[in-house]
């Protein structure tokens, strides 16, 4: 199916500009059981942007990301990456799942985890060579973890675990980086280190999308916002979409108006 | 006799069986490692029990077709088919009903095993069935094994081992982080199916030697034992292969000496002894190491607390603290510090003051994360940084010892 023929959920056709987007999600619906977690969501992430996906707990932020990646199978909808179906664009995507999604007592060392980011280019029977290890070390250096390469992963703090996951994504050498709550439960130094890496990626022309939960840092860290509460509430630049009115729509009564006024722009 | 069995001097056939069992053990240990890392150990128990109806049906079909029914290859094909059906049942029950996987495993395991036992009882009433020796598939037996059987087992084990080694990277990626694996384009359900297929192959190949009731031990105990010795997947694979291979070798050799002894239980006992040794004595993760580590940590805490109390002229109430200080020659029985103790106490207090200062200053924030009440600050900061701390603390305020 060519991208031009792809119909969006509201019946309009995808324009050529949207087909060039780093990530274009159309009519995505995901359901665990009978109640949709994400319903008919369209999302367009321009190449070279840095987007925060925000919304209340259980709004479907992580689910949307996983469905777009094909990690979970959606009930309906499609996702395209740089105009190609996700399955054909894997080499251009890097993913940082939630830290809590894995067992940290797994018998592996920090360097081995980062090397997992190179498995795709290595193939089934390719040999791990010194060059691969050097590349993995370089990625660890970018997140300030080079001294921990030989540590067992169970000995890391939460922030260090998150940095290792980011290093693994860097090893994938992608154009689109998707991160699920990269700042959840990390220390201040790690948060700074991660945002520095992400902003450096954007400076290189890469596209960054992160599920984010801290409204107070949205305007500092990101240039675009995608507000979701099962359905799409707003999408656009921080100035357009990160407004008290839109946040109220997304969060409903769960966010005090005073808090909204402090965090959002245009208050 | 036992010695000649262990050194492979019981003749060509027994030697071949022993080597076949060893190869099977290596393959089972390595395959089981991924099962263990993926936390699906119990599925293998269901797979092995689900082989029994296949054994019975294959025997009946072969007899009906005019064969003698005991062809190992035929029985293996039958057991593989019914194990596959059992696996599909577990998958369908988990996906299509609200049953959790453990319930599905329990249901499939018992129902298939029940059907198998009924079939075996029926076969006993057949004229061809009495000498079939199918009970040997329950607990394993090397008695009366043919040369061709041993070759099938050895080749089967080698093929599975090769396949597992080829798939080691995707299998460990899926076991560690299935979501990331899926995002990088690995087909997680298909890799799980491949893993289950390999486990099934091991089960079928090992049926004759180990028996279906205990084959799960050959898959699971080696990786569990190996985990005590290594913090890397590669290391666990090597040790698990070694443990499985050793158990297969010793089990089959013992069985050659005492043919009445079922091979499966012998192999399990060998496995268990290796597991128990590892549990107790493994250097980093073993029980003994953990106890020693805890005791040494406790000792350091008590001495440090005791020294700080001495330095500040506080009485020491805890008996353990006093005993440890006395044994280290730092204090007398009445709680008064020795000369050595006074020096160490003053040093501990100075260290603690420096830490306090470091933790209160933003510029030392990174170093402050190393504070645990025990580490000496001189191992964390450079001497010029410590000079800076001392300058901030100011002149000594008369430490009373």
Residue A88: closest C-alpha in chain B: B185
Residue B362 sits at the chain A interface (C-beta within 8 Å): no
Q: Kindly report the backbone phi and psi dihedral angles of residue B133, in degrees, each rounded to the nearest multiple of 5, phi listed first.
A: 70, 30
Confidence of residue B148 (pLDDT cuts 50, 70, 90): confident
Residue B319 sits at the chain A interface (C-beta within 8 Å): no
Distance CA A13, CA B102 (A): 47
Residue B173: closest C-alpha in chain A: A116
Confidence of residue B18 (pLDDT cuts 50, 70, 90): confident
Distance CA A118, CA A112 (A): 10
Lowest-confidence range among A257-261, B238-242, B300-304, B359-363?
A257-261
Contacts of A209 in chain B (CB under 8 A): none
Three-state DSSP class for A163? helix
Q: What is the mean pLDDT of chain A?
A: 86
Q: What is the mean pLDDT of chain B?
A: 88
Rounded mean pLDDT of B378-382? 80
The contacts found for B10-18 with CB under 8 angstroms, 24 or more apart, are B10/B253, B10/B256, B10/B257, B12/B147, B13/B145, B13/B147, B13/B150, B14/B142, B14/B256, B16/B147, B16/B150, B16/B151, B16/B154, B17/B142, B17/B145, B17/B150, B17/B209, B17/B252, B17/B256, B18/B249, B18/B252, B18/B253, B18/B256
Rounded mean pLDDT of B200-227? 93
Mutate to test the interface with B, among A96, A102, A107, A113 (most CBs of B within 10 A): A107
**A152 CB-near residues (< 8 Å, 6+ apart):** A107, A108, A109, B231
Q: Is B182 close to A69, i.e. CB distance below 8 A?
A: yes
Residue B175 sits at the chain A interface (C-beta within 8 Å): yes
Per-residue model confidence (pLDDT) at position A19: 59
CA distance readout (Å), B357 to A90, A117, B379 = 51, 42, 16
Give the predicted TM-score (pTM) of the model. 0.83
Q: Is B180 close to A124, i.e. CB distance below 8 A?
A: no
Among all chains, which residue has been given the structure tokens 């607990």? B139
CA distance B353 to chain A (A): 25
CB B62 within 8 A of CB B74: yes
Three-state DSSP class for A142? helix
CA distance B22 to chain A (A): 25
Quick one: how far is CA A7 from the chain centroid?
25
Q: Three-state SS string across A11-59, please?
A: CCECCHHHHCCCEEEEEEEEEECCEEEEEEEEEEECCCCEEEEECCCCC
CB A179 within 8 A of CB A208: yes
**What is the torsional sign of CA B219, B221, B223, B224?**
positive
Distance CA B216, CA B386 (A): 59
Confidence of residue A13 (pLDDT cuts 50, 70, 90): very low
Q: A143-179: per-residue pLDDT in tens? A: 999 889 999 998 888 889 999 999 999 999 999 999 9
Distance CA B202, CA B26 (A): 10
DSSP H or E run through A76: strand A76-81
Quick one: how far is CA B62 from the chain centroid?
40
Quick one: how far is CA B396 from the chain centroid?
55
> What's the half-sphere exposure (Cβ side, CA atoms, 13 Å) at A202?
19
DSSP H or E run through A180: strand A176-180
- CB neighbours (10 Å) of residue B397? 8
Confidence of residue A262 (pLDDT cuts 50, 70, 90): low
Q: Three-state SS string across chain B, please?
A: CHHHHHCCCCCHHHHHHHHHHHHHHHHHHHHHHHHHHCCCHHHHHHHHHCCHHHHHHHHHHHHHCCCCCCCHHHHHHHHHHHHHHHHHHHHHHHHHCCCCHHHHHHHHHHHHHHHHHHHHHHHHHCCCCCCCCCCHHHHCCCCCCCHHHHHHHHHHHHHHHHHHHHCHHHHHHHHHCHHHHHHCCCCHHHHHHHHHHHHHHHHHHHHHHHCCCCHHHHHHHHHHHHHCCCCCHHHHHHHHHHHHHHHHHHHHHHHHHCCCCCHHHHHHHHHHHHHHHHHHHCCCCCHHHHHHHHHHHHHHHHHHHHHHHHHCCCCCCCHHHHHHHHHCCCECCCCCECHHHHHHHHHHHHHHHHHHHHHHCHHHHHHHCCCCCCCCHHHCCCHHHHHHHHHHHCCCCCCCC
Rounded mean pLDDT of B220-246? 96
Residue B34, pLDDT > 80, answer: yes
Per-residue model confidence (pLDDT) at position B129: 65
Per-residue model confidence (pLDDT) at position B37: 96
Pairing of strands A50-54, A224-229: parallel
Distance CA B257, CA B10 (A): 9
Contacts of B367 in chain A (CB under 8 A): none
Q: Is A116 close to B230, i.e. CB distance below 8 A?
A: no
Of A184, A204, B142, the residue nearest A194 (C-alpha): A184
Indicate the length of chain A as a whole number: 267
Confidence of residue A1 (pLDDT cuts 50, 70, 90): very low
CA distance A66 to chain B (A): 8
Residue A70: closest C-alpha in chain B: B183
Residue B185 sits at the chain A interface (C-beta within 8 Å): yes
Residue B204 sits at the chain A interface (C-beta within 8 Å): no
CA distance B290 to chain A (A): 16
Residue A85, pLDDT > 70, answer: yes
Under 8 Å CB pairs connecting chains A and B tally to: 72
Residue B236 sits at the chain A interface (C-beta within 8 Å): yes
Q: B342-360: per-residue pLDDT in tens? A: 899 999 999 988 988 888 8
Residue B387, pLDDT > 90, answer: no
Residue B164 sits at the chain A interface (C-beta within 8 Å): no
Pairing of strands A76-81, A23-32: antiparallel
Q: Does A202 or B130 have the greater pLDDT score?
A: A202
Contacts of B365 in chain A (CB under 8 A): 189
CA distance readout (Å), B178 to B93, B269, B276 = 22, 35, 32
DSSP H or E run through A108: none
Q: Is A87 close to B185, i.e. CB distance below 8 A?
A: yes
Residue A110, pLDDT > 80, answer: yes
Residue B227 sits at the chain A interface (C-beta within 8 Å): yes
CA distance B46 to chain A (A): 25
**Helix residue ranges, H only, A20-156:** 61-69, 110-116, 119-122, 130-142
Residue B218, pLDDT > 80, answer: yes
Residue B145, pLDDT > 90, answer: no
Residue A105: closest C-alpha in chain B: B231
Residue B385, pLDDT > 90, answer: no
Token pair of A102 as six digits: 């894995």
Phi-psi region of B398 (alpha: psi -120 to 50; beta: other; left: phi over 0): left
Residue B235 sits at the chain A interface (C-beta within 8 Å): yes
Nearest to A124 among B37, B39, B166 (CB): B166
Token pair of B84 as six digits: 């596959």
**A186 CB-near residues (< 8 Å, 6+ apart):** A158, A159, A162, A194
Q: Is B183 close to A95, i.e. CB distance below 8 A?
A: yes
Q: Is B183 close to A124, i.e. CB distance below 8 A?
A: no
Contacts of A107 in chain B (CB under 8 A): 37, 227, 230-233, 235-236
Nearest to A106 among B37, B166, B366 (CB): B37
Per-residue model confidence (pLDDT) at position B47: 94
Q: Is A97 close to B230, i.e. CB distance below 8 A?
A: no
Residue B166 sits at the chain A interface (C-beta within 8 Å): yes
Q: Is B180 close to A90, i.e. CB distance below 8 A?
A: no
Question: Which of the listed ranges A224-228, B62-66, B134-138 does the model predict with the highest average pLDDT?
Answer: A224-228
Rounded mean pLDDT of A22-47? 91
Distance CA A160, CA B366 (A): 14
Contacts of B236 in chain A (CB under 8 A): 107
Contacts of A70 in chain B (CB under 8 A): 182-183
Using CB atoms within 10 A of its CB, is residue B379 exposed (0-12), middle (13-18) or buried (19+)? exposed
Q: B299-321: per-residue pLDDT in tens? A: 999 999 999 998 888 888 888 89
Residue A99: closest C-alpha in chain B: B177
Nearest to B183 among A69, A107, A122 (CB): A69
Q: What is the ipTM of this complex?
A: 0.87
């Amino acid at each position: 199916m060519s991208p031009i023929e792809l119909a969006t959920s509201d019946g309009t056709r995808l324009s050529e500009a949207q087909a060039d987007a780093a990530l274009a999600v159309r009519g995505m619906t995901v359901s665990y059981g009978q109640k949709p977690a994400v319903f008919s969501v369209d999302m367009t992430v321009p190449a070279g942007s840095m987007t925060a996906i925000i919304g209340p707990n259980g709004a479907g932020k992580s689910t949307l990301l996983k469905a777009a990646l094909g990690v979970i199978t959606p009930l309906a909808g499609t996702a395209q990456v740089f105009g190609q179906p996700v399955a054909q664009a894997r080499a251009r995507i890097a993913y940082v799942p939630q830290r809590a999604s894995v067992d940290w007592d797994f018998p592996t060392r920090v360097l081995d985890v980062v090397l997992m980011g190179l498995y795709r280019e290595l193939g089934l029977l390719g040999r791990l060579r010194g060059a691969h290890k050097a590349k993995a070390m370089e990625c660890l250096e970018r997140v300030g973890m080079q001294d921990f390469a030989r540590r067992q992963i169970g000995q890391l703090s939460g922030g260090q675990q998150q940095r290792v996951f980011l290093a693994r994504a860097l090893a994938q050498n992608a154009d689109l980086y998707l991160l699920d709550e990269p700042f959840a439960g990390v220390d201040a130094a790690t948060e700074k280190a991660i945002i520095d890496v992400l902003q450096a990626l954007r400076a290189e022309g890469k596209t960054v999308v992160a599920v984010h939960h801290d409204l107070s840092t949205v305007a500092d860290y990101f240039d675009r916002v995608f507000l979701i509460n099962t359905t799409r509430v707003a999408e656009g630049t921080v100035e357009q979409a990160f407004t008290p009115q839109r946040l109220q729509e997304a969060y409903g009564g769960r966010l005090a108006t005073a808090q909204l006024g402090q965090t959002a722009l245009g208050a | 006799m036992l010695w000649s069995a262990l050194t492979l001097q019981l003749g060509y056939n027994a030697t071949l069986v022993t080597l076949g069992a060893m190869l099977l053990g290596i393959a089972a240990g390595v395959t089981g490692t991924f099962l263990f890392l993926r936390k699906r150990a119990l599925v293998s128990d269901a797979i092995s029990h689900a082989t029994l109806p296949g054994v019975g049906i294959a025997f009946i079909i072969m007899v009906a077709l005019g064969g003698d029914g005991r062809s190992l290859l035929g029985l293996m094909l039958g057991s593989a088919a019914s194990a596959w059906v059992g696996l599909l049942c577990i998958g369908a029950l988990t996906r299509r009903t609200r049953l959790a996987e453990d319930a599905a495993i329990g249901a499939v395991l018992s129902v298939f095993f029940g059907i198998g036992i009924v079939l075996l009882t029926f076969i006993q009433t057949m004229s061809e069935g009495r000498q079939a020796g199918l009970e040997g598939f329950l607990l394993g037996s090397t008695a009366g094994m043919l040369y061709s059987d041993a070759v099938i087992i050895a080749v089967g084990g080698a093929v599975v081992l090769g396949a597992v080694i080829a798939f080691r990277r995707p299998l460990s990626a899926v076991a560690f982080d299935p979501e990331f694996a899926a995002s990088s384009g690995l087909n997680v359900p298909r890799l799980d199916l491949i893993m289950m297929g390999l486990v099934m192959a091991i089960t079928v190949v090992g049926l004759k030697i180990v028996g279906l009731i205990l084959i799960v031990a050959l898959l699971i105990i080696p990786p569990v034992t190996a985990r005590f010795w290594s913090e890397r997947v590669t290391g666990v694979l090597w040790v698990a292969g070694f443990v499985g291979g050793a158990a297969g070798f010793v089990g089959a050799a013992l069985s050659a000496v005492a043919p009445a002894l079922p091979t499966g239980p012998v192999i399990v006992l060998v496995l268990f002894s290796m597991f128990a040794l590892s549990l107790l004595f493994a250097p980093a993760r073993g029980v003994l190491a953990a106890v020693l580590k805890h005791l040494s940590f406790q000792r350091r805490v008590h001495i440090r607390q005791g020294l700080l109390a001495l330095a500040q002229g506080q009485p020491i109430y805890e008996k353990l603290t006093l005993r440890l200080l006395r044994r280290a020659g730092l204090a007398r029985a009445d709680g008064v510090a020795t000369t050595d103790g006074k020096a160490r106490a003053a040093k501990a207090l100075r260290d603690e003051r420096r830490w306090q200062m470091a933790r209160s200053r933003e510029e030392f924030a990174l170093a402050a994360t190393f504070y645990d009440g025990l580490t000496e600050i001189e191992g964390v900061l450079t001497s010029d940084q410590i000079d800076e701390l001392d300058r901030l603390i100011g002149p000594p305020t008369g430490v009373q010892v």
